[in-house]
Every structure is written in structure tokens, then in C-alpha cells.
Amino acid sequence: MQAVDTGRMILRPFKEDDLDAFYRLGTVAEAIRYVGNTPFGSREQALQAMRDGPLVDYERHGFGRVACVWKDSGEVIGFSGLKYMAAVDAVELGYRFLPEYWGLGLATESGRACLRLARDVHGLDRLVGLVHPDNAGSARVLSKLGFAVESRVRLDFIPDTPVDVFARRLLAEEPL
């Protein structure tokens, strides 16, 4: 998987050296508020989650969540990317950024790059986005990216609230 320059960020595969940033993305309460995650209890737990998550996904599917590196500082400020979600039998576009980077359009910027990768590199013709109904910001990002609500599902990892399934087709002739 090659790195992608989005303008303000470089999207690249996670590596174990990114552990501190990965840990932070999984422990900042505002960042995990709507995703059903409990905060990592330790860096070792975060490392295992990285190994079981994106690192395995790269091997298994050829894609996964990728580190979003802020070009001005070289800091990993979030993640974005594709993940096969067995619960809905579809590939999801997901993203998470540290709160100090919210409101800058970075989820949309990284999402657009991931749409191109999904279609042009991985040959996917449909993606979904799973959004907690209270997460208006994430719903807005997916709408900007051409997704529309398709259904609502219950997920084991968010047991108390059904989530909205946004979906969109990736047509070969459509500019992304």
C-alpha cells in the first residue's frame, strides 16, 4: 500500500512506531464517543489492537485504516480508510481525528482520497459508512462525499443504539 498525498496530509499504512498516536486515538474520550470503543487500558492493549486491526487488514484485504500524517509537523493526527465490516458484509469508509484537528475538513479530504483508492486501486464499487445517529459531524462528512442513508442496523459493539448505514456507489466514470 503506497502513501497518498491529500494536500495537507500524507495517508500511509500504520506501523508499530505509530503506537503513541494510535494509543491516543483510542483513548481521547471525544474521539471515541460514538464508536462503541472503550479506551485502551495500556499501550500494550493498543499495540495488540493495531496488530489485530489495521496490520492484519493490510495482509488479509490489501487495505485497512491508515495513519493521517499532518505534513506541517509529521505528526499522526488521525486515521482514515477502508475496513471490511463483517457485521454488515460491506467495506466501510471510516475516519477519526484528534479533536484539535476537527472542523478543518480533514475527514472529507482524507475520505475523498480513500474513495479514489477504493475504486481505482482496490476495484470496489460500493462503500458504506456506519454512523451513530447523534454524530452529526460524521453524517455531514459522508453526505459531502456522496453517501446517503440506506438503512439502520444494530451492532454488537454499540449495543444500546442502532446506527445509520450510509452507502454510495463508486462509478468508474464519476470524478471523485
pLDDT by residue (tens digit) across 6-28? 999 999 999 999 999 999 999 99
| Mean local confidence (pLDDT), 2-7 | 94
In this prediction, residue 63 carries a pLDDT of: 97
**pLDDT reported for residue 125:** 95
pTM above 0.75, yes or no: yes
Cα torsion angle, 106, 107, 110, 113, sign: negative
* DSSP-derived 3-state class of residue 89: coil
**Residue 62: what residue type?**
G
